[in-house]
Amino acid sequence: MSATRIDCDIHPAVGGTRTTLLPYLDDHWKEQVVSRAIDGLDLNSYPPNMPLSGRADWRPANGKPGSDLAMVQRGAFDQLGASHAICNVLYGAQAVFDSYMAAAFCKAINDWIAAEWLSRDPRLRASIVVPMQAPDLAVEEIERRAGDNRFVSVLVLAQGESLLGRRHYWPVYQAAEKHRLPIAVHAGSQYRGAPSSIGWPSYRYEYYLAEAQAFQAQVLSLIYEGVFLKYPGLKVVLMESGVSWLPAFMWRANKTWRGVRVEVPWIDREPAAIMRDHIRLTTQPFDAPPDAAGVADIIDMIGSDKMFLFASDYPHWQFDGDDAIPPHLPASIVSRMCADNPLETFPRLALAA
């Protein structure tokens, strides 16, 4: 492997609760999932057969896209040229209503990814899947994994039960900061509420578009609730969020803050400055203007070369061909986003596995 190129967002797939995860469940949950047929928890945000959920050449003959380690290795490493990759498992454990069940499934997912992926390929790292439904149990899961440096972040969904800045989540951030784990907020919904204030849309296409606004709401929530004041070492990575909404979102946040900052007097600097310090984004999908000048403008407006993290979003179908770096990105951004920025954002990447 030549240069360091860290792919910050790939998706190994869980086959099912009664298959993939069964060996990793305790006797109680083994019995439960078998006798009650608790299975089929693929997130509604990513139906496996939907084109976006798997590029044609990354679909195994059998099973879901991302379910075959050898195929993932060929795609993410050989074809796309990553030196390392961070596994973000999107399976329904995060959406389960029963907190105990959610915690058991999250634990099983983390045990499974450690045993069957991380242990089989030293280039792989993973995010800790946690039950945000019960922050105390999420903290327990973080503590359980903290000694394993192959876990480099904490994974949560962009649309959960409540906005991520709310105080009941703070113990999770305390644990994350302590163990130098950024919070990876990934596209996806628990389907507790409509994907936007306008209600439930007709098409999955609209759902996917609406994720961008959910990410924006999460950023504002984390900032204005004061999470980054309480946990100054915490970073939040927006994964599969899209990118081009960021500049105008920053302007609007700054302007609104100038108008009504009296409401949040603890925020004593522009929210865009807080974003540049604490928020990171992965670069697929890159929903930018089609021309190089437009991309240059967007990058100039964002005003930071530290915010971008290389990601392919494998096996999601965000681009064709072998180059996961979006077109027209200036060299200064590309050179930082593949290694420097991921290493700064996920400090545990630099630790011995």
Q: Restricting to residues 174-193, which ones interact with other proteins according to CB under 8 A? A: 189, 192-193
Among residues 112, 117, 317, 346, the one that binds other proteins under rule CB under 8 A: 317
CA gyration radius, the chain: 19
Nearer to other proteins, 195 or 342 (CB): 195
- Residues from 56 through 75 that contact other proteins (CB under 8 A): none
Compute how many other C-beta atoms are within 10 angstroms of the C-beta atom of residue 271. Answer: 24
Backbone phi, psi, residue 134, to 5°: -135, 90
Q: Pairing relation of β-strands 6-10 and 84-87?
A: parallel
Contact code string over 82-111 relative to other proteins, x by CB under 8 A: ------------------------------
Nearest to 285 by CA among 55, 86, 43: 55
Among residues 263, 265, 321, 331, the one that binds other proteins under rule CB under 8 A: 263
Could you tell me if 279 and 307 are in contact, meaning their C-beta atoms sit under 8 angstroms apart?
yes
How is residue 166 written in tokens? 């709310």
Asked whether position 321 contacts other proteins by CB under 8 A, the answer is no
Asked whether position 247 contacts other proteins by CB under 8 A, the answer is yes
Q: Is the Cα dihedral 199, 203, 209, 211 positive or negative?
A: positive
Listed ranges 36-44, 77-85, 240-248, 335-343: which one lies at the site for other proteins (CB under 8 A): 240-248
* Torsion angle (degrees, nearest 10) of CA 196, 197, 203, 208: -10
Nearer to other proteins, 288 or 349 (CB): 288
d(CA 341, CA 309): 6
Least distance in Å: CB of 168 to other proteins? 12
Nearer to other proteins, 126 or 138 (CB): 138
How is residue 188 written in tokens? 């996806």
Asked whether position 154 contacts other proteins by CB under 8 A, the answer is no
Cβ-in-10-Å burial (0-12, 13-18, 19+) of 60 comes to: middle
Asked whether position 328 contacts other proteins by CB under 8 A, the answer is no
Among residues 151, 169, 173, 257, the one that binds other proteins under rule CB under 8 A: 257
Listed ranges 64-72, 83-91, 96-104, 156-164: which one lies at the site for other proteins (CB under 8 A): 156-164
Nearer to other proteins, 97 or 205 (CB): 205
Question: Residue 40 — left, alpha, or beta (φ > 0 → left; ψ -120 to 50 → alpha)?
Answer: left
Among residues 101, 152, 164, 307, the one that binds other proteins under rule CB under 8 A: 164
Nearest to 278 by CA among 171, 173, 351: 173
Least distance in Å: CB of 16 to other proteins? 25
Which runs of consecutive H residues, i.e. helices, occur in the chain? 27-35, 69-72, 99-113, 135-145, 170-178, 204-224, 227-230, 246-260, 271-278, 292-302, 331-335, 341-345
Nearer to other proteins, 99 or 221 (CB): 221
For residue 39, give the 3-state DSSP assignment. Answer: coil
Among residues 75, 135, 165, 188, the one that binds other proteins under rule CB under 8 A: 165
Listed ranges 1-9, 206-214, 331-339, 342-350: which one lies at the site for other proteins (CB under 8 A): 206-214
Among residues 22, 34, 52, 343, the one that binds other proteins under rule CB under 8 A: 52
Least distance in Å: CB of 132 to other proteins? 12
DSSP label of 23? G
Nearer to other proteins, 240 or 346 (CB): 240
Among residues 225, 228, 234, 308, the one that binds other proteins under rule CB under 8 A: 225
d(CA 122, CA 84): 8
Nearer to other proteins, 83 or 221 (CB): 221
CA distances from 192 to 34, 89, 232 (A): 26, 20, 30
Asked whether position 168 contacts other proteins by CB under 8 A, the answer is no
Among residues 78, 136, 143, 206, the one that binds other proteins under rule CB under 8 A: 206
